[in-house]
Amino acid sequence: MDNSIMNKESIEKILNKLLPTEEEKQLILDAQIANPDIPLGTAEQFLLTLSSINELYARLRLWLFKLEYEQLEQEVSEPLMDLKKGIEELCVNKTFKYILSVLLGIGNFLNGSQARGFSLDFLTKVPEVKDTAHKHSLLHHLCVMILEQFPGTSDLYSEIGPLTRCSRVDWDELEKKLLKMERDCKASWDYLRAIVKHDGASSEFKGKMLVFLADAAERIMILQIIYKRVLNRYHKLLLFMGLPVYAAREQKINAFCKIISEFALEYRTTRDKVIQQQLKKANQRERNRTRGKMINETENFSKSKDAKTDDALHAVLKNGYASCDERGLPGQRIRRKHDAKSLGASKGSITTDSEMYDTGDDELLEACVRTATGQTGRAPRERRRSRSNRKSWDVLHENLDELRNVLVQKER
């Protein structure tokens, strides 16, 4: 039973297709006797070799059971563990209890009745029922009410992972696997007895297989007990949720888990949408409240409680220094020359820019500025007159003077 040479698929292939029948074995032997000089072909030699092994079918069946036992045990035990864990978590889940309570209250209010419960199938119809005003589903109103009344609840879907996995399991097939394990284990004991007859009672193979089969039989019996107890817990859960006895017997595990899982998924999706809508409305209200205000009038940018501390800090950093903005325009600045006496008298006065820095070169800078921007000391340049008509202009001026004198004498 070396798994490195033959795997499960190879064993199944030999069992299903390659085992020689008694008729094929007899035909090969007859042909070999009739033609002893002709060697057998590869296929015939292979079939003849297989037929020469004692209890080949029993050995292959025992080997196959040993290979697939661990996988079968895992496929049976994991769903049973998930179902057990899911039942325990669902019984103590507060969010699920609040959902059922609020749904029952809504149904009694809408129907005007005082029912003590409702059918489990109604959970599949909750997303489909809608109001006439805003066309919101009943599940939407359910999420709003639960978020308002029970703010500490969860999304439910993240807390029922075991039930979600159970909804994907075929429980009828799981029961068949458990029965198959029991049947194969019993048959393996018979195969081992048949093999021991040919190999002897003191073989190492017999000792290993006895230990394996004894352990496998014990584990299968434990799995059967667990399966029955988990089913009993499942039926108790259905009775706890208000289902009648006859309905609890007929309710399939897969269908029940699927109803809870799908409803939880719808609830989580709707809950996330409701939370996003509430956040958007809160942001819109905040924007409307601060609309039309200056940014420093809002709470985030208003003056803090430490305003006095900030003013004191500004005063320390200022240290008596007066900027140009506080003294006025640069053109209105008046420089003052302080001698030794005035320095002692004005220790507490405000320090100016010229006192803050060295201004020994200010006269030179002002001279450069006047040179660049002001008028120069030279006389303005005169326009040259043409020399061609200079004499005629002089004669005209003399004539005008004479005429002026004549007019003056006449007036006298």
Q: Are 256 and 105 in contact (CB under 8 A)?
A: no
Identify the DSSP state of 330. Answer: G
**pTM of the full structure:** 0.63
Q: Residues 102-124, buried b or exposed e (16+ Cβ, 10 A)?
A: bbbebeeeeeeeeeeeeebeebe
**Cα–Cα dist 95/145, whole Å:** 12
Judged on CB neighbours under 10 Å (0-12, 13-18, 19+), 151 is: exposed
CA dihedral 148, 150, 152, 156 (to 10 degrees): -100
Backbone Cα Rg of the chain = 54
Question: What are the extents of the domains in the chain?
Answer: 1-52
Angstrom distance (rounded) from CA 397 to CA 403: 10
pLDDT at 57: 86
Amino acid in the structure at residue 39: P
CA distance 81 to 234: 12
The pLDDT score that the predictor gives to residue 333 is: 47
> What would the two tokens of residue 355 be?
């006192």
Structure tokens at 31: 């042909």
Rounded to 5°, angle at Cα 38 from 34 and 43? 100
| DSSP codes of every residue in 148-198 | HH-TT---SGGG-HHHHHHTTS-HHHHHHHHHHHHHHHHHHHHHHHHHHHH
The dihedral built from the CA positions of residue 131, 135, 139 and 144, taken in this order, carries a sign that is negative
Give residues with Cβ within 8 angstroms of 35, minimum separation 6: none
pLDDT at 322: 53
pLDDT given for residue 346 in this prediction: 46
Q: Report the C-alpha dihedral over residues 103, 165, 156, 263, rounded to 10 degrees.
A: -30
Q: Which segments in the chain show pLDDT lower than 50?
A: 329, 331-351, 353-354, 356-357
The pLDDT value recorded for residue 186 is: 92
* Amino acid at position 243, single letter: L
Tell me the per-residue pLDDT of 80-138, one tens digit each, with 9 for 90 and over. Answer: 999 999 999 999 999 999 999 999 999 889 888 888 888 888 898 888 888 888 888 89
